[in-house]
Structures are given as structure tokens and as C-alpha cells.
Amino acid sequence: MTNDIPNIEGAVCAPPLAHEERIVMGHGAGGRMSHQLIRKVFMSAFQNSALNAGDDAALIQLDARQRLSVSVDAHVVEPLFFPGGDIGKLAVCGSVNDAAMLGATPLYLTAGFILEEGLPIETLRRVVESMRAAADEAGVQIIAGDTKVVQKGKADGLYITTTGVGVVREGVNISGANAKVGDAVILSGAIGDHGIAVLGARGELGFQSSLQSDVAPLNRLIAAALDASPNIHVLRDPTRGGLATTLNEIAAQSNVGVVLHESAIPVRAEVNAACEMLGFDALYVANEGKVVVIVPQEDAEKVLAAMKSAKYGEDSVIIGEVVAEPKARVLLKTVLGSTRVADMLAGEMLPRIC
């Protein structure tokens, strides 16, 4: 689920981080500030080719044929339980999905728990049971873990970090850097459900909502898409920062433009209503069960058909195309007929939604 370590040249325009600067919530929002932190602090220290690729997972070439996909995600969502999911389901799906985004079959997860003194064991049991159910659905095993406890007040109940390991299919070559001019952009369903559902669980919507988070393991949907075409260029889940931020990452990595057709992008009425009330744009609201698939135009219809007949992909739709200019930009053709730039999320919008 990440916007993990993206290698975005466009994010370097801000001045270097000074020694006296401190972490602010925007550094965890998955947008431009997160990218800057990642580049200035982490990537500059940990330089290596797998990391520098800037994808959702690291690609490890074991030998001439075998490749592994390795992902990691930390989860701090508040509250722990929300409509459609909980921190445990989120932690499993996050790492399953990121590992799958290189065209891999996820097989194994590890899980690290930071527990706050006083947390009811029953709460932990519910979360762990939810992790087991999500892992069963995804067909992965949780093979190792770690537990640490901190004093009351030093954490907020429970945090979980998961690592996902998968085996990349032979014959696929998928990266955020592989989008080509003319490719179709497919989205697997409605945007913004997760972020708005978590806000609803916090009582911040001001109205009753039946909206559920879309959190789901997407590995079988992705397998169906790859069965239809091994020529898929890019897979990425639009999590923190939303659809617009994810497409900006891809546009920058691939040095292309992306044109989106607003009228084609599915948004539920409840998400639209919440966004209008709160002053949000659904293009920036997090998803936890959606994938963007960028594929050569000639394969688009068969990939779309395969996705529509797979679980979690029933509402898949072509939402745009890859263009030559403007490079590293996302343009939105609005329902009113105008065109505007849909930039990367600048700072903080919804803290602790994953």
C-alpha cells in the first residue's frame, strides 16, 4: 500500500531538510512532503538499485530466471476498527498488495507488533483473527513475527508492521517507470472509500454513513489481469495521497504525461458528499483495495474484461491514457470540458488513515 520510496525527481524542488527541522504530520501523508523526506533522509543513506527503482516493492533478481518481490508497510490507523476492516486486515492486505504490484504471487508475510501497555488481549485477538482471515483469503502464510510492548501513553493501542514476499511471474516486466505513450490507464473501481470510511468511524463526517472501507487483497485480481496480458507495464495501488498522487509518481518515474477523464472515474455519492462537506478532492483520498493498471492500448479491452470478471474488479473502467506531453504531469479533463493539472498531494489531508 505505499507510496513507498518513490524515486520522483519532481519532489526534489523543495530545499534540503535543515538540521533544525522536525517531523510534521505531512511527512506521513504520502504526498510531496513524504517523497522529500524519503529522498533526503532514507534514499540518500540506503542507496541501492532495488530501492532506487522506487516501486511499491523491491525487485530482487535471484538468478537468471527467479525474481522475488519484497514489500514492507507500517500501520498506525486510528481507530483500530472501522467499517469494512481493521488494522489487522489493513496490515495483511497492504503488504500482499504491494508485493503483488511487481507482477508477483505473494506467498509469505512477517508481522511486527508494537503494543501499548493496557491493551485488552481480546482486542489483540480480534486483530490477529482478522489477519488470519485476510491471509487465508490471499493465500499467504504469516511465517515470522515480533512483539514489543511500550508503557501506557507511549503508543496508541497497537501498531503493526508487515513485510510481504512474493515470486515474480516469468515473462512480466512491471514498474512505475514502464508507462509508454499511448497506453491505457485502467482503475479497478470507485475511489476514496477507505479514507472516508475511516473518517466516518472517527465521527468526523457529521452524518450517518453506510460506507465501508475497500480494504482487500488484490493479488487474485492482479493475477487475472496478468493472465489476460503479460504485457502490462505498470501496476500500483492508489493508497495514501490517492489516485492523483499515484499517477503523478508514475508520470514522473516514466517521464510521460497522464490524461484522466473525470467523467470516467467512479466515485460513490457518499464519498462525493463527504468531500464536498470537508473540502477534499476524492482524487487525493486513500484507497486500500484498488489498483491502477497501465497497459498497451491493444491489450486494454481484454485486461479490462478479465478484471471485471474477477473479485474486487467488477467496477473496473478505463479512466485515461498516457501521453507524451506534458512530462511528469497529470491532466484532468473535467466534466465541464476544461482541463486542469492534478498535482501530487502537497501536505497533510487525513492523518493516520492507514
User: Which residues make up the interface to Mg ion (CB under 5 A)?
Assistant: 1-2, 56, 98, 237
Q: Helical H runs in 101-240?
A: 121-138, 193-201, 219-228
Give the shortest CB-218-to-Mg ion separation in angstroms.
10
Q: Which residue, 100 or 201, is less far from Mg ion as judged by CB?
A: 100
> Smallest gap, in angstroms, from Cβ of residue 97 to Mg ion?
6
Residue placing its CB nearer to Mg ion in the complex, 1 or 332: 1
- Taking the complex as a whole, how short is the minimal distance between the CB of residue 41 and Mg ion, in angstroms? 20
What are the helix and strand counts (H, E) for the chain?
Answer: 10, 14
Query: Closest CB to Mg ion belongs to which residue?
Result: 56
75, three cell numbers: 500501520
Instruction: Say whether 261 sits in a helix, a strand or coil.
Output: strand
Nearest distance in Å: CB 223, Mg ion = 17
Concatenating the DSSP letter of every residue in 314-336 gives: TT-EEEEEEESSSTTEEEEE-TT
Of 187, 190, 185, 304, whose CA–CA distance to 256 is shortest? 185
Residue with smaller CB distance to Mg ion, 245 or 316: 245
Q: What angle do CA 85, 89, 93 make, to 5 degrees?
A: 120
Least distance from C-beta 164 to Mg ion, angstroms? 11
First to last CA, the chain: 9
Q: How far is the CB of 19 from Mg ion (least distance, A)?
A: 31
Exposure on the CB side of residue 82, measured as CA atoms within 13 A: 32
Nearer to Mg ion, 130 or 239 (CB): 239
CA-nearest of 254, 101, 232 to 168 is 101
- For residues 187 and 274, which CB has a smaller minimum distance to Mg ion in the complex? 187
* Unique residue bearing C-alpha cell 522506487: 54
- Of 74 and 273, the one with the shorter C-beta distance to Mg ion is 74
3-class secondary-structure state, position 41 = helix
Q: Which is nearer to Mg ion, 205 or 293 (CB)?
A: 293
**Contacts of residue 243, Cβ cutoff 8 Å, sequence gap at least 6:** 187, 191, 265, 283, 284, 287, 290, 292
- Closer residue to Mg ion, CB minimum distance, 119 or 319: 319
Where does residue 352 rank: exposed (0-12), middle (13-18), buried (19+ CB within 10 A)? middle
Nearest distance, CB of residue 21 and Mg ion, angstroms:
26
β-bridge partners, 69: 59, 166
Q: How far is the CB of 73 from Mg ion (least distance, A)?
A: 8
User: What is the residue whose three cell numbers read 504531469?
Assistant: 329
Which residue has 497501465 as its cell numbers?
294
C-beta of 90: minimal distance to Mg ion in Å?
13
Measured from the CB atom, the residue of 1 and 190 that comes closer to Mg ion is: 1
